Amino acid sequence: MSQFLPERVVCNGEAFRLYISKEQIDTRVAELGGIINREYADNKPILIGILNGSFIFLADLMRHISIPCEVDFYKLSSYGDEKVSSGLVTERKMLDASIEGRHVIIVEDIIDTGLSMDYLLKKIKDQKPASVKVITLLHKPDATRYDVQIDHVGFEIPTLFVLGYGLDYAQEGRNLAQIYVLDSND
Ligand code: PRP
């Protein structure tokens, strides 16, 4: 069955156009998986996906990891149903795993202002892991106001509102297989 790969989509009444194709995403995610295989060849990492947005990236990334690894999830929310951050991070699900002494890889879909990652890194480091790295599919460097650690980035993008491949607009659009940009960003 072929995937639904439209050039344009409408989500919650707003028009979006294709920005990063499935082919570009697949290529980059495979490269990032290869980087993890090399960096953690001797250390079984635990990947921590930040819900909700990271679930598709994390699932694809893990399928490119050929070394032993584990996964757990942390759920944060700072955007609610809006296009801009509320400035307040809400913690909705804690980790189940103990990460003390573990090699942790935090997996995000996007780092925008950096507020969520700033909050999360403090929480994770408080639990005394052996090491922490941050991998994000997207990063908006011009929007990032917090001096957060970012180890690997899939794509650096300008300050545009993007949708799909896990990223939502008012909770919709996460199922899109490609990444789209809001037309009215122009
Ligand atoms: C998004 C995204 C990151 C965060 C990035 O989450 O998944 O966690 O915003 O923005 P920041 O760098 O400005 O903090 P959101 O709060 O929208 O929740 P979601 O993952 O459930 O969509």
Ligand 1 contact via 107 beta carbon (within 6 Å):
no
- Residue 109 alpha carbon, nearest atom of ligand 1: 7
Residue nearest to atom 18 of ligand 1 (CA): 77
| Look-up of token digits 């997996």 | 107
Ligand 1 contact via 111 beta carbon (within 6 Å):
yes
pLDDT given for residue 25 in this prediction: 98
Ligand 1 contact via 78 beta carbon (within 6 Å):
yes
pLDDT given for residue 81 in this prediction: 66
Q: What is the mean pLDDT of the chain?
A: 94
Read off the pTM.
0.95
Confidence bin at 184 (pLDDT 50/70/90): confident
- Residue 174 alpha carbon, nearest atom of ligand 1: 22
Condensed to tens digits (0 to 9), the pLDDT of residues 123-179 reads: 999 999 999 999 999 999 999 999 999 999 999 999 999 999 999 999 999 999 999
Per-residue 3-state assignment (H helix, E strand, C coil) for 38-105: HHCCCCCEEEEEEECCCHHHHHHHHCCCCCCCEEEEEEEECCCCCCCCCCCCEEEECCCCCCCCCEEE
Give the pairing type, strands 179-182 and 162-163: antiparallel
Residue nearest to atom 17 of ligand 1 (CA): 79
d(C-alpha 186, C-alpha 181), whole Å: 10
Q: Give Cβ neighbours of residue 17 (< 8 Å, ≥ 6 apart).
A: 7, 8, 180, 181, 183
Distance from Cα 1 to the centre of ligand 1, integer Å:
31
Ligand 1 contact via 148 beta carbon (within 6 Å):
no
- Residue 115 alpha carbon, nearest atom of ligand 1: 14
The residues annotated as belonging to the active site are 112
